Amino acid sequence: MHAVVYDQPRELRLAEIADPVPGPGEVRLRVLVTGVCGTDVHLHDGEFFPVYPLVPGHEIVGEVDLLGEGVVEVAAGQVVALDNMLTCGLCDNCQRGRPAFCRHLRALGVTDPGGFAEYVVAPAGKCHPVDDLDLDTAVLAEPVACAMHGLDVLSLRPGSDVLLVGAGPSGLILTQLLRSGGAGRLTVAGPTPAKLELARAFGADYTVRFGREDPDLAVAALREIAPDGFDVVIDATGALAALERGLGLLREGGTLFVYGMAEKLARLPVSPYDVFRRELTIKGSFAQAFSFDRAVLALRTGRVRTGGLITHRFGLTSYAQAVQTVRGDRSCVKAVVEL
C-alpha cells in the first residue's frame, strides 16, 4: 500500500509498504478520509513524542475491510470513525480514570501507524460506526471528542462569561459546545474575519478581531465587553502572546484554560502572587478520554454542526502541501486528505 512515512522530523516520503494484517480482535480499515490538524504540524517538526518510522494521521474514517479473529463489534463494509488512543486499561492512571496518561499509551498516527495511508489496523472496539453520517461530518469525530474532554476538564460553571481565543476548527467546535453547555455569554477572538463569521453563525455572542497587527486594540475591545474581566479565558491557539494576554483578561477567581498546544519548549510568564492574590486557576486538556461516543452522538444529532469547516482537500501525494497549508494559510479552517 501507499503511505506517508517520516524517518525523522521534516523528512517525509510517499512509500510503498506492506499491507497491514489484523490480529485477533483487530480490523483493517480501508482509509476514506483523514483530517489534518495542528498536532500533525507539531509531529512534522518532531514534537509530540513521535516514534519513527512514523505513518501519521489520527483523525481517521475508513471502511472495515478485513476482520481479525473473534471480531463481533463491527462488520465488513461498515464505515467507522476511529478512536486512535490505545491504552492498557491496567496501569495506575488507567484505573484512576485518566487513560490519556496510560503508562503504556500508544496512539495511531503518533507512536503506531496512522491514517495517511491506504489501510490502517486498529482494535475493533475503537471503531465507531458512522454509516449514517457523511464523511465531512464523520471525520470531525476525533476533534469533537477532544473538545468534549476539554469541557469535562474545565467543568464550566453555568452562566460563566467566557472568552475563547482561536477560531480554527477546535475553536469553532468549542464555540458550539460552549454555547449549548452553559456559557452565559461567549466571546470569540481570532485574526481571520471569515472564521469569526463562522463563530457568529455557530453561536458566539460577540466576536473580536485579535491578530498580531494591533493586539492592544483587540484587548481594549475585549475589556469593553467585560470591564471586570472574564470568568474563563480559553486559548485554542497555543500562541504564547494569546495566553499571556488571556491571563490579564481574567476577573478575580477566573480560570485560564490551555487547550491549544504550544511548542514544547515555550514558557509562559506567570506571577505566583497574582495567582495567589486573585485566586486564579490554570487548567489544561490533553487529547480525549471517555468522550468519543458522545462526540459521534453530537455530530449525529446536529448539536455540533460541520458545515463550512472543511475548506481544503488534498490527496495522499500532496500531504506535505497539506501540512504547510494548515501551518500558514489563514484561509484554511480544516484540511483533509481523501483517498
pLDDT per position as a tens digit, 139-159: 999 999 999 999 999 999 999
Distance CA 173, CA 171 (A): 5
CATH of domain 147-284: 3.40.50.720
In what helix (H) or strand (E) does residue 276 lie, and over which residues does it extend? Answer: helix 272-278
Quick: pLDDT tens for 255-277: 999 999 998 889 999 999 999 99
What is this structure's pTM?
A: 0.96
- pLDDT value of position 211: 81
Cell 448539536 sits on residue:
303
Residue 336's nearest CA partner among 146, 59, 44, 143 is 59
**CB 65 within 8 Å of CB 22:** no
Rounded to an integer, what distance in angstroms lies between the CA atom of residue 207 and that of residue 18? 49
CB neighbour burial string for 124-135, b if at least 16 within 10 angstroms, e if fewer: bebbbbbeebeb
pLDDT, mean of residues 292-309: 97
- pLDDT exceeds cutoff 90 at 213: no
User: Which has the closest alpha carbon to 85: 141, 155, 138, 153?
Assistant: 141
Mean pLDDT, the chain, integer: 96
**Per-residue pLDDT, 263:** 87
Angstrom distance (rounded) from CA 56 to CA 5: 7
Cα–Cα distance list, 317 to 4, 124, 312, 313, 321 (Å): 8, 28, 15, 12, 9
The CATH architecture of the domain made up of 2-140+306-338 is Alpha-Beta Complex (3.90)
Give 301: exposed, middle or buried? Use CB within 10 Å, 0-12, 13-18, 19+: exposed
For the chain, domain boundaries = 2-140+306-338, 147-284
- The answer to whether the CB of 331 falls within 8 A of the CB of 311 is yes
* Type of residue at 301: T
The tens digit of pLDDT for each residue in 4-31 reads: 999 999 999 999 999 999 999 999 999 9
- What digits encode the pLDDT tens for the residues 85-105? 999 999 999 999 999 999 999
Residue 120: predicted pLDDT? 98
Contact 311, 335 (CB under 8 A): yes
Contacts of 276 (CB under 8 A, 6+ apart): none
As a whole number of angstroms, the distance between CA 74 and CA 198 comes to 36
